[in-house]
Structure 1
Amino acid sequence: MQLLYTILYGLQRIKGERTASSIYHLLKGKRSSQTLQDGAIYRLSFLFGVYKKLNRHVYDEQIQLLLNENCIEQIQENTYAVTAKGEDRLAQYGAVVSFPMHLGGLRYGDTGEVLWKRLSLVVQSLSHLQRNSSSFLPIQQDIEVTEWVKRFFLSALVSRTQLAAALYEECMSALSALTEAECTVFVLRLSGYHRVGYTEGQIAELLDEDSLRIHFQFLSALHWLTKQGLEEDGRYPLLSQMTSYKEKRVAVLSLSTIKTYDLWKQGKTIAETVRIRGLKRSTIEDHIVEIALHEPDFPIESFLAEDKVKRITETIQRMNTRRLRELKKYVGDDVSYFDIRLVLARIGGANEG
């Protein structure tokens, strides 16, 4: 049910203006400018990368099931609109498997993965050290993670007992803001002395719940902890340390886009950036659109005149669509697709959340 609800929700938000593949790429976390733009414009960024293991065949089967049950109707190839029956089904599903409140795939996904690896190994290690057991199989095998945890313990200015108590208090305080289900799933995933953390599949079986639902609840708890760790108010010093400075600087922009952004900050034009980076102009334009999506104060007027911005904005509002081809028909021959995408990015970025 959770996957059907998620797909139906996504299709409702894109309103037949994108193909069904756009939802698939979003859930998988495809870091392309188009996927990032779709997430922002349709306010679906919280679902970015939340189901990286999703199989395309399974996804297509769900689309076919929704078609067979008349919940969606095909309007173009691989493009669907949600029917009245689909709207009813969405409401029914939502009453049972609506998205957890703190799911934040794009904003907290990558940093959350780092936090989980570090936190889970620290908890496991402290659990064993508290019982004078230094020999155990680490739950995390990533060398960078194990080395970070070693440095974490070496830098601690308190005893292991005090460290364990402090971490317990921080986690209990942070988790207290979540639902009982989210807390239960998160704690069951942790490993400790003579205890191996449950997999999401095992938890789903134990609680008689949809496994994807369990996954979303776990991510919601993790993303909430990540958010607390990224705060600079000093309330959660240990969680903050686990989301260290390097991770705090991880942006939602792709690495290639960051390089283009740096050149723009140096005053380079698109043409100059194309020459310097040896990339296609369309690729650099994709990067500029991606920047506009996630930087609220990015001056798109440096790429197109204010009268064009106004004209495109008014057309979007009047036509009530985000289809590039449809908008291009009405904005004038002097407006490019790049211009339209920039304005859409500003509108989408402003609405993202």
Structure 2
Amino acid sequence: MKTLFILSLFKQGYKVKVSTLYHLLKGKRTVSVLMSGFLFDNFFCFQLFPELREEAFYQILQQLIKDGCLDFYEESLEARLTDKGRQRLQKNSLHIDSYTNHLNGYKYGKTEMEMWRILQFLVQVTSHLSYQNNRYIPLEASPKYQLKIKKLLTEIDRKNVGSLMKNEWSLIFDRLSEEESSFLVQQFSGYQWNGKAEQQLLPDFSAFQKAVYRKNIYHHLFSCIEELEENAVLKRAVGESIEKNKNQSMLRTRELWSEGHSPAEIAGIRRMKPSTVNDHFLELAMSERGYAFDQFIPSEQIRCFQEISLPCQEWRYAELRQQFEVDYFSFRMYQIEQIKRERGK
């Protein structure tokens, strides 16, 4: 499974710099790493495996190259999918998709376990509360989680907490598959029942299989919770944790920009290099909808970009600079906007 997963990250067929792909999986937040993920449709992989060892990653790559599934280019340290690799992915496409179709490490990877623990604890507490039972061993002893749930309970009607939870979880389970719902429900504990451990539910899975399977379901769960109404208990329970995944400095730049400040003014206000502010705009353009960032690209540079016949995933900044005058920010922003149009986003 691990080998197939790594191979699937080359599915677009373009040359991908392998070191950048490794840093994407680890969660290194630089524009070059994020751009690589965005260009090659691997943005969801950001910070999926922060504990991934470099040695293990390169061993898998070497095996894929040896098997003829990837071509490796020594000069640029890039790899690209071969016909054999493409056939292998097609043969296993349903298997791979079932494990990865809801993954979103960029949005949830940093706090996924924190959010899951909050939800498990919330279910336990509200279950016992609905039966007026206060004699039980809480799943969480940490003040971090206990204070979170106590604060949340002060904001809702305790008398109706049982029906509130039932209604909200029903909405969630209507969106999840039966398999996903079963995996989640069996881990919950509450009045007169104890949840099962992940190992009990997935006894025959490898460690990597369990990790990807779990993440895929949790990320689907979180996305469904985000679609609930604003005052939903589940949404309030994990809202702060979801926000923690975002680049907080980027959000401050977005806030100032929304107030009408120009990029130059934001750099002055925040005492930052203009290039740092530009990096924030690039990440905003990659991660959020509803912004027309192409307003930052000079019209003369847009005309130059439009004359390039190669797919923008294959553009190289150093090569383009030899053809016409272009700055890095405009180059990257045009790539982002172009790919968003191609993908209908």
Q: TM-score, normalised by structure 2?
A: 0.82
Deviation per CA, 1:261-296: give whole Å up to 9, x if none.
344445555555444434444333322221222344
Deviation per CA, 1:69-88: give whole Å up to 9, x if none.
12112113531111111112
Corresponding residue of 1:237: 232
The equivalences for 1:202-351 within 5 A come to: 202-205=200-203, 208-231=204-227, 233=229, 237-244=232-239, 246=240, 250=243, 253-265=246-258, 268-315=261-308, 318-325=309-316, 328-329=319-320, 332-350=323-341, 351=343
SS of residue matched to 1:217: helix
Task: Identify if the C-alpha distance between structure 1 residues 299 and 132 changes in structure 2 by more than 3 Å, giving closer, same or farther.
Answer: closer
Deviation at 1:302, TM superposition (A): 4.4
CA distance in 1, matches of 2:18, 2:53: 14
The answer as to whether partners of 1:11 and 1:20 remain within 8 angstroms in 2 is no
Deviation at 1:340, TM superposition (A): 0.7
SS of residue matched to 2:92: helix
Corresponding residue of 1:6: 5
Deviation at 1:146, TM superposition (A): 1.5
Corresponding residue of 2:53: 55
Letter in 2 for 1:23: L
Unaligned runs of 5+ in 2: none
Q: How many residues were matched structurally?
A: 340
Task: Identify if the C-alpha distance between structure 1 residues 347 and 327 changes in structure 2 by more than 3 Å, giving closer, same or farther.
Answer: farther
Task: Identify if the C-alpha distance between structure 1 residues 285 and 170 changes in structure 2 by more than 3 Å, giving closer, same or farther.
Answer: closer
The answer as to whether partners of 2:186 and 2:195 remain within 8 angstroms in 1 is no
Letter in 2 for 1:90: L
The answer as to whether partners of 1:313 and 1:343 remain within 8 angstroms in 2 is no
Deviation at 1:203, TM superposition (A): 3.3
The answer as to whether partners of 2:294 and 2:333 remain within 8 angstroms in 1 is no
CA distance in 2, matches of 1:68, 1:300: 43
Deviation per CA, 1:220-255: give whole Å up to 9, x if none.
332333223222547x933233244x567x387511
SS of residue matched to 2:11: helix
Corresponding residue of 1:64: 62
Deviation at 1:5, TM superposition (A): 1.9
Letter in 2 for 1:292: A
Corresponding residue of 2:96: 97
Deviation at 1:20, TM superposition (A): 1.4
Deviates more, 1:90-99 or 1:77-86: 90-99
Task: Identify if the C-alpha distance between structure 1 residues 179 and 339 changes in structure 2 by more than 3 Å, giving closer, same or farther.
Answer: same
Letter in 2 for 1:291: L
Letter in 2 for 1:61: Q
Deviation at 1:174, TM superposition (A): 1.7
CA distance in 2, matches of 1:346, 1:171: 37
SS of residue matched to 2:68: coil
Unaligned runs of 5+ in 1: none
Q: TM-score, normalised by structure 1?
A: 0.81
SS of residue matched to 2:73: strand
Corresponding residue of 2:84: 85
CA distance in 2, matches of 1:195, 1:330: 63
SS of residue matched to 1:73: strand
Letter in 2 for 1:259: R
CA RMSD between the two structures: 3.2
Letter in 2 for 1:333: F
Counterpart of 1:26 (choices 21, 24, 28) is 24
Task: Identify if the C-alpha distance between structure 1 residues 307 and 295 changes in structure 2 by more than 3 Å, giving closer, same or farther.
Answer: farther
Deviation per CA, 1:120-159: give whole Å up to 9, x if none.
10122244554835341x3334433211211233333243
Task: Identify if the C-alpha distance between structure 1 residues 74 and 352 changes in structure 2 by more than 3 Å, giving closer, same or farther.
Answer: farther
Task: Identify if the C-alpha distance between structure 1 residues 214 and 181 changes in structure 2 by more than 3 Å, giving closer, same or farther.
Answer: farther
Task: Identify if the C-alpha distance between structure 1 residues 167 and 91 changes in structure 2 by more than 3 Å, giving closer, same or farther.
Answer: same
The answer as to whether partners of 1:112 and 1:223 remain within 8 angstroms in 2 is yes
The answer as to whether partners of 2:172 and 2:225 remain within 8 angstroms in 1 is no
Deviation at 1:213, TM superposition (A): 3.3
The answer as to whether partners of 1:292 and 1:298 remain within 8 angstroms in 2 is yes
Deviation per CA, 1:8-56: give whole Å up to 9, x if none.
111233611x311232222233332223323322222223333333222
Task: Identify if the C-alpha distance between structure 1 residues 272 and 128 changes in structure 2 by more than 3 Å, giving closer, same or farther.
Answer: closer
Task: Identify if the C-alpha distance between structure 1 residues 239 and 308 changes in structure 2 by more than 3 Å, giving closer, same or farther.
Answer: same
Task: Identify if the C-alpha distance between structure 1 residues 174 and 63 changes in structure 2 by more than 3 Å, giving closer, same or farther.
Answer: same
CA distance in 1, matches of 2:321, 2:336: 19
Deviation at 1:60, TM superposition (A): 1.7
Task: Identify if the C-alpha distance between structure 1 residues 334 and 78 changes in structure 2 by more than 3 Å, giving closer, same or farther.
Answer: closer
Task: Identify if the C-alpha distance between structure 1 residues 133 and 265 changes in structure 2 by more than 3 Å, giving closer, same or farther.
Answer: closer
Task: Identify if the C-alpha distance between structure 1 residues 211 and 254 changes in structure 2 by more than 3 Å, giving closer, same or farther.
Answer: same
Higher relative CO (CA 8 A, sep ≥ 6), structure 1 or 2?
Answer: 1
Deviation per CA, 1:285-313: give whole Å up to 9, x if none.
32222122234443445433223124214
Deviation at 1:57, TM superposition (A): 2.1
Task: Identify if the C-alpha distance between structure 1 residues 297 and 155 changes in structure 2 by more than 3 Å, giving closer, same or farther.
Answer: closer
CA distance in 1, matches of 2:288, 2:175: 29
